[in-house]
Every structure is written in structure tokens, then in C-alpha cells.
Chains A and B, each alone.
Chain A
Amino acid sequence: MNPSTQRTPAGFSLPARLLHWLMAIGMIAMLFIGVGMVASVSERHQWLIQIHKPLGLALLALACVRLARRLYGGAPALPVGMPAWQRHAAHASHVLLYALMFAMPLIGWAMVSAGGYPVMAGNWQLPPIAPADAALFAWLRGAHRYLAFLLFAAVLLHLAAALFHGWIRRDGVLRAMTRGR
């Protein structure tokens, strides 16, 4: 049986694919920048932070566009031959990825606000979105770290699942995001 013959998923549009890959690069870069900057005492610490904040803001803006596109444009249906647990896992992991796309930059922004720091993204000053409060800062700082680990795990799972679709099931799911259909 070849599951790829059972259903042809409609592919993602070019703007949807561009958004996906642009954010994929940005988010993976962001995760590495974040984990690297807090583990460095060198000049790297400073210039990575200078990238981290404006890039986070850009990813937040892209996440808004992406969610709107997803709500209006939808996504191709999954192949009918997929086991139920994989369909549930696919759905849940996408909800998690979308939630973290918003949560990470917002928590970062709120964390800097709660720490009483001026919120600077490059040369651009943003308003605080949380009151200056040390206990709140500590909570948000922990959330930013552990949700980043969760996001990295979710990205790896997403990557593994995409390759599983593309290389083993060969059901058109990966191709819907690469070539369109």
C-alpha cells in the first residue's frame, strides 16, 4: 500500500511558505543566540543581545501575520492514511509551536520590563508591558528559559516529523511546505 496515492494534499501558497521558512530561520537563530548569549562573558554577550531583542520583535510581528494567514488561508489536510495518534500529535505540536511563537517574544519583553530595564530593541525604545517587579521578573526569566527549551524540543520534533513524512511515508506533507504541492 502506498499512502501517498490515497489523498493529494493541497500545498501551501508561496507567501505561506515564505513566512514559514523565514520564521524557521529566525526562530532557530534566536534559540541559538539566546542560549549562547547567556553562556558567554565575552563581547559576544553584548552583540548577541543586540541581535536578540530586535529579532525577537520582528518574529513577534511575523507571528501575527502568520497566525492571520493560517486562520484565513488554512492548511492542507493531513493524508487520510495517517494513524490517529500521529494526527493528534501533529495538531497538538502545531498549537504548541504557534503558542510559543507568541509567548517567547512577549515574555522576553515583559521580563525586561519587570526587571526595570529600559526596553530597547536596537536604537528603538519600546514601552514596558509589565510593572517593574523583581518577583515577576524572576518568574518570567525562568519561563523564558524553560519555554525556550520546550520550543527547541518542539522544533526538533517538527523537523523529525517533517523528514519522516518526506523520506519514509513520502505522502506529500513535506513537499506541501517545500515545493508547494
Chain B
Amino acid sequence: MPHSSQREARPLDARQICLRLGAIGAIVLGSGAAFAYVGGWLDPQRLTPDRVVDVLEANSGVHAGYRRNHAKGVCVAGHFESSGAAQALSTAALFAPGNTPVVGRLAVPGGNPYASDSSVPIRSFALRFTSPNGEQWRTGMNSMPVFVVATPQAFYAQQLAARRDPATGKPDPQRMQAFFAAHPETAAFRAWARTARPSASYATESYYALHAFYFIDAQGRRQPVRWRLAPLDASPAPAAAPGHDADYLQADLQRRLAQGPLRWRLLVTLGAPGDPTNDATRQWPADRPTVEAGVVVITRSVSQDEGPCRDVNYDPTVLPRGMAISDDPLLPARSAAYAASYERRTREGPPRDAAASSQPTQPEHVQ
């Protein structure tokens, strides 16, 4: 090489070659190790989305094709009638007056798609709003005003505490007590759960987003909000009685929808400065102003095995422009764990057991 230097021209001796090969090997191995560390393979203590889903599977079993939590449910469809009242708070297209189609899912918490509807006193409502411009708002709400824990680590610890004792087939009450004792933030949820009874209808429940979010207006102002759905003119349903079969919720839903649409008001509570946005175990003071953004109208239900909600991941961080997530640590954790659950169940293919509802079940405890 015409421009080569003296140093390059001098042949390398065996020791130099070994050293240089060693350096190349160290760079390659070090890069590989850094990649493996970032990917969590060398870090067994890290809570990863897969570990969250693994513990759910450990507690409820693997039911191919089903969601790993809130596995039992039914698809619903309808639309959202915006009142225009939230338009000043958020630029999201769906808050302009008019209708936006929704695909939703009413469900029962827990990873067992064959659980009895009375297994927990909680019902959930997930919705996906799709605007004509292609933007989406996905939200997953539950029928209790506070979540049981505030962090993904505490959720994981709770699932570990709830694992079934092989001898009894049920969670060990002492272990659950120890968990609650170590997690005083669960007090508000436990106070609610003491009086909560499984309702005999999805239609009579209120559903709470639990987390705080931000609405962003045309000037870029960020207003902390929490939303909920409150039933509108739903004829009352008694608490579920022992005489009910395991699948009374879906039958009740179909009976009601045969008579006409079901409606919920979408109520948006406005947080004041100082209200916590990062803690789903704490409610905001009751005197905070509330805006009625519109009405969710549900007109039909379809089995979740073939309905339009089946392939929807109700990731609560999928938001249109004009809305943003808060600093609630559960939101990224839900997004990440839902993605892991969605990947597993789509890989397995659609649920194959259409006779799901006829399987005998064992009551699950409140999670």
C-alpha cells in the first residue's frame, strides 16, 4: 500500500496477533453481554412484562387464545354520542359533537375464561373509540373506584401471594394477609371490597378508569382528569344470588339489549393542582368538578370468540392527540403486560373452545 506507515508494514508477531484477537473477542462478547443485560436475560430481579404474564398464568392456568387477565367476557358494539362539553378541554376529535363508533368488551377479572361470574365482585368495561381520521382511544375500566395497588411491583407481589396452595387449590389466606399488611395502600380497595357484592348485570355498574390522564386543549394546556362511565336509566339488578348459574352476566346483557340499547354517561372529573396523578389507590376529593363528555350507547353484543373485540388489545396508553398518559406507574406496566399477553394469545390463535361456559368452575378470590 503506497501510503502505509512503518508501523503497518511491520508484521505482527504471534503474541500481538493473540492480543488483538483477544481484544476483538472482548468487544464482541462485551457488546453481546450488554445487549443481554438490557434485554433482561442477565437480570433475574427485573420485573418484565413476561414475568407479569407468567405469574398470571401460574395462578389461572394457560387458556390458549384467551387474554391472560379478564379472560371471561363478551364483545359489545355501539357508538359514543359526544355532547361537545369536553371539547374545550381536549382537542381529541371524538369530543367534538357527533357520534364515534366504539367496540367494547365487558368482562370479569381473572385469568380463567371458565370462571363463574360470581368469582369476583368486579366487572370491567373496555372500549375502543375510532375516529374518522384513524385515531383511537382505548380505555379499560373497572367497577371499583380505586385500584388495589399503586405500582407494578406491588401488583406482582399480590399475584405471588395469591398463588394457589397445591393442598387446598386455593390461595393461602395467611399469605394474602401478610401481603395486605405489608401494603397499606390497599386499604381503600379492601374497604370497598368488604361490602362489594357481585352484581347480576353489567348494565347497572359504574366503571372507573382508575388512573389519571391529561386532556390537552388547543392552547396546549394540560388538565389532569379521571373518567368513569355511569349507567343511565339501567333498570336495577339484584346482587347475584346463589341460584344464578355461572354465566348469568351474558344472559342478562342479551336480555337487556333485546329490549333496547344500554347507555352510560362518560363523566370526566377535573383534578386540581396537588391532586395525585400517580396513585390509582387514591380517589380525588368528591367536590372536584365533573364534565359530562357524552353518552356511550351499546346496541349489540357478540361472543368474544368471534366478536370484534377479540383481536383488540385494550392498551390504555393508546390515546388520540389531545390526550396523554399521566405519571401513574401502572399505565406503562399495563401497556407492556397487555402487549405480552396479546403476543401470546395471537400466537396461539383464536380460542377454540366455544363451549367455555359449560365447564365447571371454582370460585376465585378477589384480586
Residues of A within 8 A of B (CB): 2, 4-5, 8, 31-32, 35-46, 115-118, 123, 125, 127, 132-135, 137-138, 141-142, 152, 156, 159-160, 163-164, 167-168, 170-172, 181
B contact residues around A164 at 8 Å (CB): 24
Whether the Cβ atoms of A42 and B38 lie closer than 8 Å is no
**Contact check: which of A38, A46, A118, A142 meets B135 at CB < 8 Å?**
A118
Known contacts A123-B321, A141-B346; is A39 also within 8 Å of B8 by CB? no
A contact residues around B325 at 8 Å (CB): 46
B contact residues around A45 at 8 Å (CB): 49, 332-333, 335-336
Query: Closest B-chain residue to A156, C-beta based?
Result: B28
Query: Closest A-chain residue to B313, C-beta based?
Result: A115
Once the chains are docked, how many angstroms separate the CA of A137 from the CA of B47?
Answer: 25
Q: What 10 new A-B contacts, CB under 8 Å, besides A40-B40, A118-B135, A127-B134?
A: A5-B9, A37-B336, A46-B331, A134-B310, A159-B27, A159-B31, A160-B25, A160-B28, A168-B24, A170-B4
Whether the Cβ atoms of B49 and A41 lie closer than 8 Å is yes
Instruction: Name, among A8, A118, A163, the residue most crowded by chain B CB atoms within 10 Å (CB to CB).
Output: A118
Whether the Cβ atoms of B39 and A8 lie closer than 8 Å is no
Tell me the minimal C-beta distance from A71 to chain B in angstroms.
28
Once the chains are docked, how many angstroms separate the CA of A132 from the CA of B12?
Answer: 59
A contact residues around B8 at 8 Å (CB): 4, 170
Whether the Cβ atoms of A163 and B24 lie closer than 8 Å is yes
The verdict on B181 contacting chain A, using a C-beta distance below 8 Å, is no
Tell me the minimal C-beta distance from A6 to chain B in angstroms.
8
Whether the Cβ atoms of B9 and A134 lie closer than 8 Å is no
B contact residues around A127 at 8 Å (CB): 134
Once the chains are docked, how many angstroms separate the CA of A68 from the CA of B48?
Answer: 40
Whether the Cβ atoms of A2 and B11 lie closer than 8 Å is yes
Closest A-B pairs by Cβ, 5 of them: A39-B40, A138-B346, A35-B39, A41-B333, A134-B311
Once the chains are docked, how many angstroms separate the CA of A132 from the CA of B309?
Answer: 12
Within 8 A of A (CB), among B30-86: 31-32, 34-35, 38-40, 46-50, 52
Whether the Cβ atoms of B17 and A168 lie closer than 8 Å is yes
**Contact check: which of B20, B38, B49, B329 meets A167 at CB < 8 Å?**
B20
Please report the number of residue pairs spanning A and B whose Cβ atoms sit closer than 8 angstroms: 131
Whether the Cβ atoms of B327 and A38 lie closer than 8 Å is no
The verdict on B366 contacting chain A, using a C-beta distance below 8 Å, is no
Query: Closest B-chain residue to A132, C-beta based?
Result: B311
The verdict on B124 contacting chain A, using a C-beta distance below 8 Å, is no
Tell me the minimal C-beta distance from A140 to chain B in angstroms.
10
Tell me the minimal C-beta distance from A178 to chain B in angstroms.
14
Known contacts A118-B136, A167-B20; is A135 also within 8 Å of B40 by CB? no
A contact residues around B242 at 8 Å (CB): none
The verdict on B193 contacting chain A, using a C-beta distance below 8 Å, is no
27 of the cross-chain contacts (CB-CB < 8 Å) are A5-B1, A35-B35, A37-B336, A38-B336, A38-B340, A39-B46, A39-B50, A40-B336, A41-B48, A41-B337, A42-B333, A44-B332, A46-B335, A115-B313, A116-B313, A117-B313, A127-B134, A133-B311, A135-B349, A141-B343, A156-B31, A160-B25, A167-B24, A168-B17, A170-B4, A170-B8, A171-B1
Query: Closest A-chain residue to B134, C-beta based?
Result: A118
A contact residues around B12 at 8 Å (CB): 168
Known contacts A43-B327, A163-B27; is A38 also within 8 Å of B339 by CB? yes
B contact residues around A159 at 8 Å (CB): 27-28, 31
Whether the Cβ atoms of A41 and B332 lie closer than 8 Å is yes
Query: Closest A-chain residue to B40, C-beta based?
Result: A39
B contact residues around A5 at 8 Å (CB): 1, 4, 9
The verdict on B110 contacting chain A, using a C-beta distance below 8 Å, is no
Whether the Cβ atoms of A42 and B136 lie closer than 8 Å is no
Whether the Cβ atoms of B317 and A46 lie closer than 8 Å is yes
Tell me the minimal C-beta distance from B363 to chain A in angstroms.
29
Whether the Cβ atoms of B136 and A117 lie closer than 8 Å is yes
B contact residues around A141 at 8 Å (CB): 343, 346-347
Tell me the minimal C-beta distance from B200 to chain A in angstroms.
32
